[in-house]
Amino acid sequence: RQLLYGLMLRSGNDCAVALALHVGKSVENFAKMMNETAFKNAFLAGTKIKSFTTPEFMTTIPGAFFMNCTELEEVKYEGEITSIGAFAFYNTKISDIDSVLTDSVKSVGESAFGKNNLGDFTLKYVEGRSWGRDIFEEATLGDVIIEEGYKTVPSGMFDSSTITSVVIPDTVTTI
């Protein structure tokens, strides 16, 4: 409690360092924790943002992060994104799925790309990638090719979508 009061003083830097060390175990780790917290729901309410570049420390696109950012067309990754949360890109203008669903992504949450106009694309096979339900729920899709290697098409993957065609490889045994 006294450290919090000390933060309000002009010379309270030592209090800030003490709090950072206590909470984050190091000043650098505390700064990383604060940045991640600040980004968690930064765009949840929907904004007119058209392009976003992730900071290098970011490894996850949190659930609903860009949900209803109806003008968002492009996301660039500075670091390596390993997971995309549920509803992360729901109702955006992302149309190039390869730019956001990179080979480093190992986990994709429920309805992550729902209500988007994704056109034609190939769903690349990535060893160990897990899928949530209804990934492309209510999306407008063209010709979709699922690459060799997938054994399962997740439940409701294309639920309520408008889709031109889907090519499912022989490796798929469960739909």
Q: What is the pLDDT along the chain (175 residues), one digit of tens a residue?
A: 787 777 778 777 888 888 889 888 999 888 888 777 766 666 766 678 899 999 888 899 988 899 999 999 999 999 999 999 999 999 999 999 999 999 999 999 999 999 999 999 999 999 999 999 999 999 999 999 999 999 998 889 999 999 999 999 999 998 8
pTM for this predicted structure: 0.78
DSSP structural state of residue 116: -
Instruction: Please count the other Cβ atoms lying within 10 Å of the Cβ belonging to residue 127.
Output: 7
Phi-psi region at 71: left, alpha or beta (left = phi > 0; alpha = psi -120 to 50): alpha
